[in-house]
Amino acid sequence: MSWISDYRYTCLQKWALQILHSTGRIPNHIAFVMDGNRRFARSKQLDKIEGHSRGFSKLADVLRWCVDLGIKEVTTFAFSIENFKRSNEEVEGLFNLAREKFAKLLEETDRLDEHGIRIRVIGNILLLPEDLQRHIATAMLRTEHNDKLFLNIAFAYTSRDEMTQAVESILKSDETSDDEPLHPSDINERLLEECLYTRHSPPPDMVFRTSGETRLSDFMMWQLSSSVLYFTDVLWPQITIWNFLASIVAYQCDRCRMERFKSGERLHSTQLAKAGEFYSLRVQKFLHRIDANRRKLLIALASN
DSSP assignment of 81-107: GGGGGS-HHHHHHHHHHHHHHHHHHHH
Whole-number average pLDDT of the chain:
90
More confident residue, 67 or 179: 67
pLDDT score, position 58: 95
Q: Is the dihedral of CA 34, 254, 9, 147 positive or negative?
A: negative
Q: Which of 20, 52, 132, 135 is catalytic?
A: 52
Give the CA-trace dihedral at 278, 180, 194, 105, to 10 degrees: 140
Other beta carbons within 10 angstroms of residue 40's beta carbon come to 24
Options 3.40.1550.10, 2.40.30.10, 3.40.1180.10, 3.40.50.2300; which CATH number does 17-302 get? 3.40.1180.10
* CA atoms of 233 and 84, how far apart (whole Å): 26
Does the annotation count 35 as an active-site position? Answer: yes
Does the annotation count 149 as an active-site position? Answer: yes
**72: which DSSP letter?**
-
* CA atoms of 269 and 267, how far apart (whole Å): 5
Buried b (16+ CB within 10 A) or exposed e, 206-227: bbbbbbeeeebebbbeebbeeb
Q: Can you tell me whether residue 11 is helix, strand or coil?
A: helix
pLDDT tens-place string over residues 6-61? 999 999 999 999 999 888 899 999 999 999 999 999 999 999 999 999 999 999 99
Q: Which of 17, 20, 59, 149 is catalytic?
A: 149
Q: Which of 17, 29, 35, 205 is catalytic?
A: 35
